[in-house]
Amino acid sequence: MESELRERIRRLLTEHDPAAAHPGEFLRARFDAGLAWVHFPPGLGGLGAPRALQSVVDAELAAAGAPDNDPRRIGIGLGMAAPTILRYGSEEQKQRFLRPLWTGEEVWCQLFSEPGAGSDLAALATRAVREGDGWRVDGQKVWTSSAHTARWAILIARTDPDLPKHRGISYFVCDMTDPGVEVRPLRQITGEAEFNEVFLTGVRIPDAHRLGAVGEGWQVARTTLDNERVAIGGQAMPREGGMAGVVAATWRERPELRTHELHQRLLKAWAGAEVARLAGERLRQQLAVGQPGPEGAAMKLAFAGLAQELSALEVELLGEEGLGYDDWTLRRPELVDFTGREAGYRYLRAKGNSIEGGTSEILRTIIAERVLGLPAEPRTDKDTPWKELPR
């Protein structure tokens, strides 16, 4: 299989010279050659090959100077929307959405969280009411990354308030250019507005843009959430990658800042980062033979704790120098850049890591119940119709 893969790469590079081809043209050709995500089925950007072979493709194309699809900019589409569409979408949906999603021609966002539901996502109140061959959606979503740049959104809404909260939800693809979609910036502690609140007023969604059966949206959403946690916390990292490398470099370059107490804390955090890196490698090996499961919650939980620990350590190491950062203005960034910014920014932005992608408290519950097999927390509302729940 690997020899066939390398031959496909050779043909792609011969027919589409990376130095001469337009980046979009090259990426579309790469998708059509089955070299986008090799574990996807033929015709959908893949070859049905083992996921582990993706590293072979990425390495050879990078060495040839081929353009990538800017994965950080389209991370929600790649890490959350695509695996959900692949698993639950119709053939027409897969053909329509996956190619422009992977090439970066269409950015995606996630309309899940709501201001009235908090960490209990299943308590959402956004309503989808059947009208003819489609649905009318009204409600409000919050903490929506990339909503200000997105073309499409994955959306969950309540379609039957008479059922218990987990059973009356359906899952849709929402057109962010619909006139009923209003995106407002949320200014964060960093001074920026990478997140948004989204108001949905009479948004019309055709039934052809529903993923999964009516009322089974929670099951579909769990697939998205499992993939989201892996996307956030399970990325491949070299030793001293990410925040661990940034803080270690500061330690080596600035000996005048060192103290014994900070040294001990750095050693502890460095070891924790290495444990998380190796655990992530094992998780990716498991992914190569199946769908992500609840183990991704542990990776995301570890990532959040390490990011906050390391960013706090860096600020203390730098003292007054670490308190400020440039460009404290209301910016609308397309992506978050932890390693390319100042220590003060990293410290403030890391506070959100234990909220986004599932709060750390919720992740601990998932790990306890679905990984360790501990008794479930009492849930007195699980059989109560949603409309009867206090809000």
3-state secondary structure the chain: CHHHHHHHHHHHHHHCCCCCCCHHHHHHHHHHCCCCCCCCCECCCECCCCHHHHHHHHHHHHHCCCCCCCCCCCHHHHHHHHHHHHHHCCHHHHHHHHHHHHHCCCCEEEECCCCCCCCCHHHCCCEEEEECCEEEEEEEECCCCCCCCCCEEEEEEECCCCCECCCCEEEEEEECCCCCEEEEEECCCCCCCCEEEEEEEEEEEEHHHEECCCCEHHHHHHHHHHHHHHHHHCCCCCCCCHHHHHHHHHHHHCHHHCCHHHHHHHHHHHHHHHHHHHHHHHHHHHHCCCCCCCHHHHHHHHHHHHHHHHHHHHHHHHHHHHCCCCCCCCCCCCCCCCCCCCHHHHHHHHHHHHCCCCCHHHHHHHHHHHHCCCCCCCCCCCCCEHHHCCC
Q: Which of 228, 295, 309, 314 is catalytic?
A: 228
Active site residue 228: yes
Q: What are the catalytic residues? A: 228
